[in-house]
Chain A
Amino acid sequence: QQQVKQSPQSLIVQKGGISIINCAYENTAFDYFPWYQQFPGKGPALLIAIRPDVSEKKEGRFTISFNKSAKQFSLHIMDSQPGDSATYFCASRVGSQGNLIFGKGTKLSVKP
């Protein structure tokens, strides 16, 4: 019930391509879905987040697509750049005081 399943574990994309990372959850009480980006030696940085009352949110090259009925959400990185190479974590939370439940992470490599 508390799990967040993330795929793929690793992803290699050519520069300029689209990177897609998927997450699925089971707990329908989750009401906040952030994505974090982590570079080696750094803490996770909040990238973009969505609430279940919208189906899509876009910030620059980053888009979250949210499918409430399927209990799935995904991160799309358009025009992927080598500087996007990092580990990406999806997460879910119940309520404003709730704890974040993290997926296992996706290591993205963007080849020049």
Chain B
Amino acid sequence: SAVISQKPSRDICQRGTSLTIQCQVDSQVTMMFWYRQQPGQSLTLIATANQGSEATYESGFVIDKFPISRPNLTFSTLTVSNMSPEDSSIYLCSVGDSRMPQHFGDGTRLSIL
């Protein structure tokens, strides 16, 4: 299975600032996904990022708040913009396509003060 690395693993940020989370995969993958997992809760898909096209956002998530880049087949970034305490969550990157099931990184634990 793919090895997925996320950076940073955790951060504490001030209200109103932005943070960019990086996701690196050790093999080329078509589809990368970004999820949010609020404390003690399930996973909610933010967006799907395919290389060479605009990310597709789920209902309730917008590009201005969560801009995503997908410059190549092994890398993606998610930015959490203008953060508020409600954005305190775990943000998870995953990869998967028709060849392999979806695998997750260990996530970025984000706290907003």
Interface residues of A (CB under 8 A from B): 32, 34, 36, 41-46, 49, 89, 96-97, 99-100, 102-105
Contacts and interface: CB of A to CB of B under 8 A. Distances in A.
Contacts, number: 46
A100 B70 CA distance: 20
A36 B37 CA distance: 14
Given A42-B106, A43-B92, A43-B106, A89 B42 contact: yes
Contact of A102 (B1, B43, B48, B98): B43
B14 interface: no
Contacts of B106: 41-43
Nearest to B33: A99
Contact of B107 (A34, A43, A100): A43
Given A43-B92, A46-B1, A99 B45 contact: yes
Contacts of A89: 42-43
Interface of B: 1, 4, 31, 33, 41-45, 48, 58, 92, 94, 97-98, 101-107
Nearest to A39: B106
Contact of B98 (A41, A42, A97): A97
A42 B31 CA distance: 21
A34 B97 CA distance: 14
Nearest to A103: B42
Contacts of B103: 45-46
Closest 6 CB pairs of A and B: A43-B104, A96-B98, A43-B106, A104-B42, A102-B43, A102-B42
A44 B104 contact: yes
B42 A105 contact: yes
A84 to B, nearest CB: 19
A95 to B, nearest CB: 9
Contacts of A36: 104
Contacts of A32: 101
A59 B1 CA distance: 17
